[in-house]
Amino acid sequence: MEIGIVGDIGSGKTYISRKFNYPVFNADKEIKKIYKKNYRCFLKLKKKFPKQITKFPISKNELSKLILKNGANLKKIGKVVHPYVSKNLKLFLNKNKNKKNVVLDIPLLIENKISTKNLILIFVETKKKEILKRLEKRPNFNKKLFNLIKKNQIASKLKKKKCKFVIKNDFNKVSLKKSISEIKKKLDKYD
């Protein structure tokens, strides 16, 4: 069974994904690897943005400037990068096909219509002020960039409606552990 963890940027999806103790596919980590090691991806991005993409490994700073200059560039970058992420996802699923469950920590899981018949969605609900407080602590946080990225995601209310379970993330380890444990018991009934 594939467990998709969805929610807002900064809601704690990655932390919660790891706490299920199943193999995790983390799309953000995969993208970092692609930017660092995939020369083909670099060449494709350079072809699309010859003046702005100048060095390999791909610079997140250059990508951020591109997106800030024109929000539509986010989709253009995505069209180049997502096929590589999809390929890595297929490899991950194949490698873990004998595991009972896997977790998919993919920020645009719903938006990119990445779905299988065995996908169970879990929404991580976090108060907006908590999210902003956490994001502002990140070293390279840019509110304008954050808002541009949010515009490319479907509204949280709609995401939540598509999910089988909701985890309220109050950043309390004890209550999160309890919520995850309860969901795991319910998931066992699906097998």
Reported as a single tens digit per residue, the pLDDT across 49-100 is: 999 999 999 999 999 999 999 999 999 999 999 999 999 999 999 999 999 9
Please tell me the distance from the alpha carbon of residue 53 to that of residue 43, in angstroms, as a whole number: 9
Provide mean pLDDT across the span 19-30. 96
Please tell me the distance from the alpha carbon of residue 3 to that of residue 30, in angstroms, as a whole number: 18
Structural domains for the chain: 1-23+101-191 (3.40.50.300), 30-95 (no CATH)
- Quick one: pLDDT band at residue 191, thresholds 50, 70, 90? low
> Whose structure tokens read 């670099």?
42
Tokens found for residue 118: 């065995």
pTM: 0.92
Please tell me the distance from the alpha carbon of residue 14 to that of residue 38, in angstroms, as a whole number: 23
Please tell me the distance from the alpha carbon of residue 30 to that of residue 47, in angstroms, as a whole number: 22
Q: What are phi and psi of 91, to 5 degrees?
A: -65, -45
